[in-house]
A and B are shown apart, each in its own frame.
Chain A
Amino acid sequence: MSDLRGDPIFEAYLTETAQLVGQLEELILACEHAGAFTEEAIHEIFRIMHTVKGSSSMMQYHNIAALAHALEDLFSYLRDHPARPANWSELSDLMLEGVDFAKVELHKLRSGEPADGDASVVIGKVDRLLDAIKRGRIEGEDAADGPVPSDGLYRYVATLRFTEDCQMANIRAYQAVFQLRDRLADFRHIPESLLDDPEADAVIRRQGFQLFMATDRSRDEIVEALSGTSYLKDLQVREIAPGEYARANPPAREAAGPETMDNGPPDGAPNREIRNAPGAHQTTIQVNVDKLDELMDLVGELVIAEAMVTQNPDIAGLQLGQFQKAARHLQKITKEIQDKVMEIRMVPLATTFQRMNRIVRDMSKKLGKSVALRLVGEDTEVDKNIIEHITDPLMHLVRNAVDHGLETADERAAAGKPETGVITLEALNNGGEVLILVRDDGRGLDRRGILDKAKARELLHRPEADMTDKEIFQLIFLPGFSTKEEITEYSGRGVGMDVVQQNIAQVGGTITVDSRPGEGTVFMIKIPLTLAIIDGMNIRVGDALYTIPTTAIRESFKAKVRDIITDPDGNEMIMVRGECHPILRIHKLFRVPGGRTDIRDGVLIMAEQDERSLCLFVDELLGQQQVVVKALPAYIRRLNRVRGVSGCTLLGDGSISLILDIQGLLNMNHGGENGHVGDRTERYVAG
């Protein structure tokens, strides 16, 4: 099979079908949650299956089409015979099975493989279920069929005539079709080609515009929708028999009457023609993410280039009024472009969150736990790239919460808690970052167990008594903490919390955990809104340049020697307004030659994250600017996990500055691995 990737029709099919399948999954889960498939839901599912069937068979993915067809039949029956099957959950299981099948096939297609899955097993099940429902119904009650035709669709023919002064009647007709087409299962019109055929306008003026449609909507609704068409003079809608409708369709077009004589060339896929034609009402377009990434890169280059011009050494110190003015204007526009590009890349977390519904559902069924998932703030938006990076960690956390966090129903009952455990996924905006909370009301983390395990694995570097509960819980993120002994089907497939943390750290995020015994556990993920461009403070140490994210800086100041405290291990600390902060000398930590060593010569920058702080000792501040974050080269990242550096950036003069990772520095400081700085800060603070 030839590789279709990049072909617009193929891409459109993939995107659209994936969206529909996603919608379907959500719908099923919502129905299951509500305990019943409402009439609207059944209609909606039917419509989705119909579209999927149509587009899949057009693309010749017959297995997907066949499955969609079977499900369509099933829902068509359910819709026409509103008897409620006894077992909804069997139905949703089956539907989800179908969803999974479609997902796998779509994934294959996307990675350039043929869609070769065998749908016959699922289709067989669907047919059996349909049979069972039919039998149950016939036994149970009278099987009186309504006037609805066997496939559940009404057929209408609408004739539209436009006023004499109407220009471009073909465009008006196209608009009418465009408005209606979502509600139509199938349609066809005369003249057949509205936009490409130069005769279309004349034909419509002469004999009116005829629209044949098959739909599940009522006649009134169709009339109402069509009567909104501009320049409409006369509208007639009448219901026709399926046979007449079929005659109006291409195979037997001649039979439809003399009007068809003026038709353009037969078009096998009128649907697609309409969709691809430039729509008058088209307000959104789909863009390949790669293009957005390229655009983002270009904007990054633009920001650097702008800095190269405005901070050019050739003009440093010159008084250039006009130039400054023009430069400020340029800066403003650059910033606006950047903001817009960022905005385009922002997507709501909703899709990611809703995927968790499925996980919770499957797991709770399997584990026999009753679990409710609550989603809060799922419309919060973050950068597309970030979403990709946090989906896996989130899934892991949710799995863990269901598997380990929540107790079994019996345990919950014994503890006097409601039988249904609640997992809450919450997202909220917090300045330049987004917080995502994964909360469960389960048994809470086992403080003692964590300590014992950390000790056994030699991960404990500090006396227990010194550690707060929060610090102890944080131990679970250390590499090597999770082990294979606790593998169950869902959590702990050899992937530990350290991987979760690493994934989140990759996008510049952090994760913390808090827990109360018997009340539950909450994981808090902080991620930046966007990765690509940050406000940074450039600093110099010796010959080396570093950039600190401005959001992490609280203040900078010159230190007085009398405020400096040195503990017996040689760790330095400074008292600022009655609080004690550890000092981290960058020149010592990164072994930079030529850095200032006297604390009075340099500058201290107080950096803060997650209520922890430290003072970085640097030679001087160079100034604040927007920097484009670039990842360190893959080789460097592979070689070793560079601690304390999250990436790098290019400055205006082309030199490279390393971006300091405040969180990483705090952790280094905290673990006491480094020996340069104190690990007993808290005690001093407390004293």
Chain B
Amino acid sequence: MSETARNDTLLDEEDSQKDKYLTFIVDGESYGIEIRYVTEIIGLQKITSVPDMPDFVRGIINLRGKIIPVMDMRVRFNKPFREYMERTCIIVVDIRDLSIGLIVDSVAEVVNIPAAAVAAPPDLTKRGNRFIMGIGQAAGEVKLLLDCEKLLTDEETEQLLNN
């Protein structure tokens, strides 16, 4: 395959992923995450807890021989922890070469939200809104669109790093 052809396919792939969001539910709220970050969705697995971790990091799981951390999105969003149930899912995302599992109440669907239908979040300073990069509308429903990078490198993490 020639260089240009390969680039074209890459572009196509990126194009086909553009504006697509995987939506999931956490505590009754509908969230969206850019599909390009998502590697796979798996059911709940046995989680091995790791000492000295912040509450939202539940521990590590064995994903076919690869060990990845899992983060409880409820706790991450300062919602009360809820025991895991049958519908609980782990969305495995790949952010800047870091694999991490996001534990969510349930996964909904993949929706198309064009940039025009995304509004800026109302109040950035409010706690819990830190991870929201915009509010999208799809099929009359409102989805909170996640800023994936912030999930990993938000000021709270920085603080932990500096300690």
B:36-77 near A, CB below 8 Å = 46, 48-54, 57, 60-62, 65, 67-69
Q: How far, in angstroms, from A301 to B64 measured CA to CA in the complex? A: 11
Q: How far, in angstroms, from A654 to B52 measured CA to CA in the complex? A: 23
Choice from A589, A634, A639, A648 contacting B53 with Cβ under 8 Å: A639
Task: List residues of chain A with CB within 8 A of the CB of B98.
Answer: 633-635
Task: List residues of chain B with CB within 8 A of the CB of A642.
Answer: 50-53
| CB within 8 Å for A633 and B161 given contacts A639-B57, A648-B60 | no
Please tell me if the beta carbons of B48 and A639 are within 8 angstroms of each other in the complex. no
Q: How far is the CB of A665 from chain B (nearest CB, A)?
A: 11
Q: Total interface residues on A, using CB and 8 Å?
A: 29
Task: List residues of chain B with CB within 8 A of the CB of A592.
Answer: 49
Task: List residues of chain B with CB within 8 A of the CB of A641.
Answer: 52
Q: How far is the CB of B34 from chain A (nearest CB, A)?
A: 19
Please tell me if B30 contacts chain A, counting CB pairs below 8 Å. no
Task: List residues of chain A with CB within 8 A of the CB of B57.
Answer: 636, 639
Please tell me if A644 contacts chain B, counting CB pairs below 8 Å. yes
A:119-134 near B, CB below 8 Å = none
Task: List residues of chain A with CB within 8 A of the CB of B46.
Answer: 655
Q: How far, in angstroms, from A495 to B159 measured CA to CA in the complex? A: 21
Task: List residues of chain B with CB within 8 A of the CB of A450.
Answer: none
A:601-657 near B, CB below 8 Å = 630, 632-636, 638-645, 648, 650, 654-657
Please tell me if B2 contacts chain A, counting CB pairs below 8 Å. no
Please tell me if B152 contacts chain A, counting CB pairs below 8 Å. yes
Please tell me if the beta carbons of B62 and A655 are within 8 angstroms of each other in the complex. yes
Q: How far is the CB of B50 from chain A (nearest CB, A)?
A: 6
Q: How far, in angstroms, from A395 to B163 measured CA to CA in the complex? A: 27
Choice from A544, A591, A638, A643 contacting B48 with Cβ under 8 Å: A544
Task: List residues of chain A with CB within 8 A of the CB of B54.
Answer: 639-640
Please tell me if B100 contacts chain A, counting CB pairs below 8 Å. yes
Please tell me if the beta carbons of B61 and A656 are within 8 angstroms of each other in the complex. yes
A:260-318 near B, CB below 8 Å = 301, 304
Q: How far is the CB of B60 from chain A (nearest CB, A)?
A: 6
Please tell me if A109 contacts chain B, counting CB pairs below 8 Å. no
Please tell me if the beta carbons of A632 and B48 are within 8 angstroms of each other in the complex. no
Q: How far, in angstroms, from A632 to B100 measured CA to CA in the complex? A: 12
Please tell me if the beta carbons of B69 and A636 are within 8 angstroms of each other in the complex. yes
Please tell me if the beta carbons of B53 and A656 are within 8 angstroms of each other in the complex. no
Task: List residues of chain A with CB within 8 A of the CB of B129.
Answer: none
Task: List residues of chain B with CB within 8 A of the CB of A591.
Answer: 51
Q: How far, in angstroms, from A555 to B44 measured CA to CA in the complex? A: 38
Q: How far, in angstroms, from A644 to B50 measured CA to CA in the complex? A: 10
Please tell me if B88 contacts chain A, counting CB pairs below 8 Å. no
Q: How far is the CB of A96 from chain B (nearest CB, A)?
A: 39
Please tell me if the beta carbons of A633 and B48 are within 8 angstroms of each other in the complex. no
Please tell me if A590 contacts chain B, counting CB pairs below 8 Å. yes
Q: How far, in angstroms, from A634 to B68 measured CA to CA in the complex? A: 9
Please tell me if the beta carbons of A640 and B62 are within 8 angstroms of each other in the complex. no
Please tell me if the beta carbons of B50 and A635 are within 8 angstroms of each other in the complex. no
Please tell me if the beta carbons of B48 and A658 are within 8 angstroms of each other in the complex. yes
Please tell me if B116 contacts chain A, counting CB pairs below 8 Å. no
Please tell me if the beta carbons of B100 and A639 are within 8 angstroms of each other in the complex. no
| CB within 8 Å for A632 and B62 given contacts A639-B160, A640-B163, A656-B67 | no
Interface size class of B (residues with CB under 8 A): 20 to 34
Q: How far, in angstroms, from A657 to B48 measured CA to CA in the complex? A: 8
Provide the A563-592 mask, 1 if CB < 8 A to any CB of B, else 0.
000000000000000000000000001111
| CB within 8 Å for A654 and B62 given contacts A591-B51, A632-B67, A633-B68 | yes
Please tell me if the beta carbons of A658 and B50 are within 8 angstroms of each other in the complex. yes
Please tell me if the beta carbons of A644 and B51 are within 8 angstroms of each other in the complex. yes
Q: How far, in angstroms, from A659 to B110 measured CA to CA in the complex? A: 39
Query: Do most interface residues of chain B lie in helix, strand or loop, or is the interface mixed?
Result: mixed
Please tell me if B112 contacts chain A, counting CB pairs below 8 Å. no
| CB within 8 Å for A636 and B50 given contacts A648-B60, A650-B65, A655-B62 | yes
Task: List residues of chain A with CB within 8 A of the CB of B7.
Answer: none
Please tell me if the beta carbons of A633 and B51 are within 8 angstroms of each other in the complex. no
| CB within 8 Å for A645 and B65 given contacts A634-B98, A635-B100, A640-B160 | no
Q: How far is the CB of A532 from chain B (nearest CB, A)?
A: 14
Please tell me if the beta carbons of B50 and A638 are within 8 angstroms of each other in the complex. no
Q: How far, in angstroms, from A301 to B66 measured CA to CA in the complex? A: 11
Q: How far, in angstroms, from A648 to B69 measured CA to CA in the complex? A: 12
Please tell me if B157 contacts chain A, counting CB pairs below 8 Å. yes
Q: How far, in angstroms, from A642 to B69 measured CA to CA in the complex? A: 13
Q: How far, in angstroms, from A641 to B162 measured CA to CA in the complex? A: 10
Please tell me if the beta carbons of A632 and B50 are within 8 angstroms of each other in the complex. yes
Give B95's nearest chain A residue, CB to CB.
Answer: A635
The winner among B49, B61, B99, B152 for most chain A CB atoms within 10 A is B49
Give B59's nearest chain A residue, CB to CB.
Answer: A656
Q: How far, in angstroms, from A223 to B163 measured CA to CA in the complex? A: 71
| CB within 8 Å for A589 and B51 given contacts A634-B98, A636-B60, A648-B67 | yes
Please tell me if the beta carbons of A633 and B52 are within 8 angstroms of each other in the complex. no
Q: How far, in angstroms, from A643 to B163 measured CA to CA in the complex? A: 13
Please tell me if the beta carbons of B52 and A643 are within 8 angstroms of each other in the complex. yes
Task: List residues of chain A with CB within 8 A of the CB of B99.
Answer: 633
Please tell me if the beta carbons of B52 and A632 are within 8 angstroms of each other in the complex. no
Please tell me if the beta carbons of B60 and A650 are within 8 angstroms of each other in the complex. no
Q: How far, in angstroms, from A545 to B68 measured CA to CA in the complex? A: 17
Q: How far, in angstroms, from A96 to B98 measured CA to CA in the complex? A: 42
Q: How far, in angstroms, from A468 to B86 measured CA to CA in the complex? A: 56
Please tell me if the beta carbons of B161 and A632 are within 8 angstroms of each other in the complex. no
Please tell me if the beta carbons of A648 and B48 are within 8 angstroms of each other in the complex. yes
The winner among B62, B67, B100, B160 for most chain A CB atoms within 10 A is B67
Please tell me if the beta carbons of A630 and B48 are within 8 angstroms of each other in the complex. no
Task: List residues of chain B with CB within 8 A of the CB of A632.
Answer: 50, 60, 67
Please tell me if the beta carbons of A636 and B53 are within 8 angstroms of each other in the complex. yes
| CB within 8 Å for A301 and B48 given contacts A639-B54, A639-B160, A640-B163 | no
Q: How far, in angstroms, from A509 to B46 measured CA to CA in the complex? A: 31
Please tell me if the beta carbons of A656 and B48 are within 8 angstroms of each other in the complex. yes
Q: How far, in angstroms, from A140 to B68 measured CA to CA in the complex? A: 74
Please tell me if the beta carbons of A656 and B60 are within 8 angstroms of each other in the complex. yes
Task: List residues of chain A with CB within 8 A of the CB of B152.
Answer: 635
Q: How far, in angstroms, from A657 to B67 measured CA to CA in the complex? A: 11
Q: How far is the CB of A207 from chain B (nearest CB, A)?
A: 50
Task: List residues of chain A with CB within 8 A of the CB of B49.
Answer: 544, 590, 592
Q: Could you list 21 A-B pairs, sorted by A, with CB under 8 Å?
A: A590-B49, A592-B49, A632-B67, A633-B68, A633-B100, A635-B69, A635-B98, A636-B60, A639-B157, A640-B160, A640-B163, A641-B52, A642-B52, A643-B51, A644-B51, A655-B46, A656-B48, A656-B60, A656-B61, A656-B62, A658-B48
Nearest 10 pairs of A and B residues by beta carbon: A656-B48, A590-B51, A633-B69, A635-B69, A636-B69, A642-B52, A635-B98, A656-B62, A640-B160, A639-B160
A→B interface (CB under 8 Å): 301, 304, 544-545, 589-592, 630, 632-636, 638-645, 648, 650, 654-658
Given contacts A639-B57, A654-B62, 16 further A-B contacts (CB under 8 A): A304-B65, A544-B48, A589-B51, A590-B49, A590-B51, A632-B60, A633-B60, A639-B53, A640-B52, A650-B62, A650-B67, A655-B48, A656-B60, A656-B67, A657-B48, A658-B50
